[in-house]
Amino acid sequence: MKDFFRVAWLVVRKDLMVEARSLEVVSTTLFFALTVVLVFAFGLVREGTPVGDVSAAILWIATAFSGTLALGRTFERERQADTLRALMLAPADRPAIYAGKLAGMLLLMALVEMVLVPLVGLLFQAPILGHPVHLAALLLAGTTGFAAVGTLFAAMLVRARSRDVMLPILLYPITVPVMIAGVRGTAALFQGTPDEALARFWIALLVFFDVVFVTLALWTFEPVMTE
Amino acid sequence: MRFCRALFLAALLTAAPAALVAQPQPSADEFVPMEEAPPEEQIPAINLVAAAYGFVWIVVVGYVWSLGRRLQKAESEIAALEQRRR
Amino acid sequence: MTKLNQIELALAGAMLAVAPWIIDAAPYEATMGLVQKIFYFHMPAAWLFLLAAIIAGTASAMFLFGKKRDMDGWALAAAELAVVFGIITLVTGPLWARKAWGIWWVWDARLTSSLILWMIFVAYLLLRRYGGPGADKLGAGMALFGLANVPFIFVSVNVWRTLHPQTSVVPTLPVQMGGPLWFCITAFFLLFLALLGMRARLERQRVRIEDLYLAEDEA
């Protein structure tokens, strides 16, 4: 068990060090998230005010889009240098490697969300500070679910053809529950009279989703990554 | 395989009456479901039922046909490969 | 094609051919009217859609964890049938809805869940077709995740929808389990068995062709 966390930590540290040197994924993903929000603003803001309760949807769609981009870029880098194969050949627990990759992805997406949330609050007048704990829990649970499935699929796609288009095609249908729960939960917090009980229900659903899919992914990572 | 194709040709031919068979239904039945929609937006139920059955038949026959073709192609490829090996 | 598949296919074809007469003779559903008769094809297709999804997910799990190579063929066959029966379900549903509720598409929990599940299996087939090397294992993961996702999709779509009550009538399925319905279910089930057997056989032949090419290269 101690070994598991050590390997996972080593993988996270390796990814962070690689990223810190170039900042490629962080900077491109952040800028992409910004452009997504702007594109939505042009589509959904009429006469200076947003149409309906769109801010929650924009927040989550921007997160999902930039998360997909980050997943693709991270694993593309691994593929070009053939480092994922080296990692697989290392005498380390496969699930631990997956856990490390997932943790790295979560850190990256958390960074993006820290920029996205204030941006959405600013541009769409969303009350992001109304229920900070609930909002943080929703984002954490939702991002974990999204990244748990995404990391597994992106890792598996490293060897596949047409992987750029395959990642969103596979990932979005599977993460529909995450999107619904995230958007509806956030919208419940952003609406005129916030509905905390509803938000808690969606957080519970997301946590349940996370438990099931992280377990499944840890379990499937070993057989699917064996050539 | 040929037997199959003949069978499905026959099935396809019987599919046409399938759409027609509901036709002699008393026309009064068409008024049974009343909706809030304006009358010009109403589509006679018989058209919808016929479209649904037609669609089922098209999909099933199309799929069986494509499956049969793929099976035949694979079978002939296996035969050719085994011929060459001998 | 095996003898069994031939018999199943012949029986299913004959039964489906006479089905319109049997459905025509079935008791008339008073509130829905004639359009209710779509139900006799819609419901069996929906059941088999779900059954195909369950088979695909289970076979994928057996392929991944049990290392059974031929299970992959069954998973692919079931996934293809899920897409075929899924499209029948998704097209006949709105045709009925048009008459019953006056609109083509309602964001009804059942309909939406079916659409998402259908999309998962279309994605699976796209992956198998264009994914290249390793697509079989990745596909198995996808099918497994898709199956595990069904309860989450249903719960989330259900709550999402009930929170936004629409003006349209709340969808209710007329439950009238008559003989004609069971007749149609049997016909569809036989068709399903025949198609599943044929499709899995095609996959076994593909594997065989690959092996033959490999043997040729070695020789």
- Here the ipTM equals 0.87
Instruction: Quote the pLDDT of residue B85.
Output: 76
B43 DSSP 8-state letter? -
Of the pLDDT bands very low, low, confident and very high (cuts 50, 70, 90), residue A227 is low
For an interface test with B, which of C87, C92, C195, C206 has the most B Cβ atoms less than 10 Å from its Cβ? C92
Instruction: Quote the pLDDT of residue B11.
Output: 47
Task: Give B33's Cβ-side CA count (13 Å radius).
Answer: 22
For an interface test with C, which of A158, A165, A166 has the most C Cβ atoms less than 10 Å from its Cβ? A166
CB A57 within 8 A of CB A142: no
Of the pLDDT bands very low, low, confident and very high (cuts 50, 70, 90), residue A154 is very high
Partner-chain contact A224 C126, CB within 8 Å = no
String of DSSP letters for chain C: --HHHHHHHHHHHHHHHHHHHHHHHSPPPTTTGGGGGGHHHHHHHHHHHHHHHHHHHHHHHHHHHH--HHHHHHHHHHHHHHHHHHHHHHHHHHHHHHHHTSSS----HHHHHHHHHHHHHHHHHHHHHH--TTHHHHHHHHHHHHHHHHHHHHHHHHHHHHTS--SSPPP-------HHHHHHHHHHHHHHHHHHHHHHHHHHHHHHHHHHHHHHHH-
Angstrom distance (rounded) from CA C111 to CA C98: 14
* Residue whose structure tokens are 């279910």: C185
Query: B residues 4-63 near C, CB within 8 Å?
Result: 4, 7-8, 10-11, 14-15, 17-18, 21-22, 25, 29-30, 32-33, 35-37, 41, 43, 45-46, 48-49, 51-53, 55-57, 59-60, 63
Tens of pLDDT, residue by residue over A212-225, are 999 999 988 888 88
Amino acid letter, residue A205: L
**Domain membership flag for residue C130:** yes
Tens of pLDDT, residue by residue over C15-58, are 887 777 777 766 666 556 666 777 788 888 988 999 999 999 99
**Domain membership flag for residue C14:** no
Instruction: Quote the pLDDT of residue C54.
Output: 93
Instruction: Quote the pLDDT of residue B27.
Output: 38
Tens of pLDDT, residue by residue over C193-212, are 999 998 998 988 888 888 88
The shortest C-alpha distance from C78 to chain A (Å) reads 18
Angstrom distance (rounded) from CA C1 to CA C194: 9
Angstrom distance (rounded) from CA C149 to CA A179: 13
Angstrom distance (rounded) from CA A153 to CA A168: 10
Tens of pLDDT, residue by residue over A9-47, are 988 898 888 888 888 889 999 999 999 998 988 888 777
Selection from A12, A211, A11, A206 nearest residue A107 by Cα: A12
Structure tokens at A113: 């969300």
Structure tokens at A111: 């960074």
Instruction: Quote the pLDDT of residue C166.
Output: 44
Instruction: Quote the pLDDT of residue A175.
Output: 93
Please name the residues in contact with C63: beta carbons below 8 A apart, sequence gap of 6 or more.
C69, C71, C72, C75, C136, C140
Digit-by-digit pLDDT tens for chain C (219 residues) are 677 888 888 888 888 877 777 777 666 665 566 667 777 888 889 889 999 999 999 999 999 888 888 888 999 999 999 999 999 999 888 887 777 777 778 777 788 888 999 999 999 999 998 887 778 888 899 999 999 988 888 888 888 876 544 434 334 444 444 677 788 888 899 999 999 998 998 988 888 888 888 888 877
Instruction: Quote the pLDDT of residue C49.
Output: 93
Angstrom distance (rounded) from CA C52 to CA A157: 25
Angstrom distance (rounded) from CA A121 to CA A128: 6
Secondary structure class of A46 (helix, strand, coil): strand
Selection from C112, C156, C161 nearest residue A203 by Cα: C156
pTM here is 0.83
**Domain membership flag for residue C171:** no
What subunits touch chain A, counting only 3 or more CB pairs under 8 A? C
The rounded mean pLDDT for chain A is 88
Q: Which residues of B touch C202 (CB under 8 A)?
A: 67, 70-71, 74
A154 or C102, which is more confident: A154
Domain edges within chain A: 2-225
Query: From the centroid of its chain, how far is CA A18?
Result: 19
The answer on pLDDT for A141 being more than 60 is: yes
Instruction: Quote the pLDDT of residue B81.
Output: 86
The answer on pLDDT for B20 being more than 70 is: no
Partner-chain contact A162 C132, CB within 8 Å = yes
User: From chain C, which residues contact A within 8 Å (Cβ)?
Assistant: 64-65, 67, 116, 119-120, 123, 126-127, 130-135, 137-138, 140-142, 144-146, 148-149, 152-153, 155-157, 159-160, 163
The answer on pLDDT for A171 being more than 90 is: yes
Query: A residues 154-183 near C, CB within 8 Å?
Result: 156-157, 159-162, 166, 169-170, 173-174, 176-177, 180-181
Interchain CB contact of C195 with B (< 8 Å): yes
Domain count, chain C: 1
**Domain membership flag for residue C194:** yes
Query: C residues 21-40 near B, CB within 8 Å?
Result: 21, 24, 28, 30-35, 37-38
B53 DSSP 8-state letter? H
Amino acid letter, residue A213: F
Secondary structure class of B36 (helix, strand, coil): coil
A52 or A110, which is more confident: A110
Angstrom distance (rounded) from CA A227 to CA C66: 15
Tens of pLDDT, residue by residue over A37-74, are 989 888 887 777 777 778 899 999 999 999 999 999 88
